[in-house]
Amino acid sequence: MAELKKVFFYGDSNTYGYDPAGFMGGRYPRKERWTTILQENLAQTWEVLADGMPGRSLPSVGYEWDYLRSVLREVTPLDLFAVMLGSNDILGTLRPNAEKTAAKMNDFVSFVTDFTGEGTQFLLIAPPRIELREESYSEPYVRGDKSYAQIYFEQGEKLAEYYEDLAGYRGILFADSSKWELDFAYDGVHLSERGHALFAQKMTEVLRTIGAE
């Protein structure tokens, strides 16, 4: 049997498996999270590791970089490092700016690739599209009111475009989950259980393509 390739996903609540309907915020059962389903789908070819944290934005202060460095020390060597961040950088401010978020991602890519070296591929994942609902604005992770709905949507679209350009410029892999037909919980922000299954299906296709290269 061939040796498994190892992938590590670094993300926010949608990598964590956050369930907004849970008491005080919860987590979907392990078997329902896309990371677990992905591992089951690719058990013969990939070892899937993940670190998701609700509310996580791209690093901007020292302790956030220190945490990332400590995580990388634990999981390397890797065949593939994958990141899906940026949603909280958009939704968590009254001045969402996709261009500035992409610039932060560029710094993130530099940090990780410098640490992991040439033997590790890098996959940049544009987060799911931001289409808020009536129930979205009562949640603490959405800073604006209903008047911000179009702004958040447009900045989310721009972020995916900037990320794709960044991936091309840096010569790294790219996947755009904002174009995937996913399903969301009542808040319009977090994947539902069905959304996790759909995300896993799409990511399975992505990793199979990478594994075939």
CATH number at residue 192: 3.40.50.1110
pLDDT at position 213, please?
Answer: 64
For residue 130, give its domain range. 5-212
Pairing between β-strand 18-19 and β-strand 26-27 as defined by DSSP bridges: antiparallel
- CA 25 and chain centroid, separation: 19
* Structural contact between residues 20 and 186, judged by C-beta atoms closer than 8 angstroms: yes
pTM of this prediction? 0.95
Q: Reply yes or no: is the peptide bond before residue 29 cis, omega within 30 of 0.
A: no
Q: How many angstroms separate the first and last alpha carbons of the chain?
A: 19
What is the 8-class DSSP label of residue 119? T
* Structural contact between residues 65 and 104, judged by C-beta atoms closer than 8 angstroms: no
Low-confidence residues of the chain, pLDDT below 50? none
pLDDT at position 1, please?
Answer: 55
pLDDT at position 22, please?
Answer: 77
pLDDT at position 212, please?
Answer: 65
Q: Considering its fold, how many domains does the chain have in total? A: 1
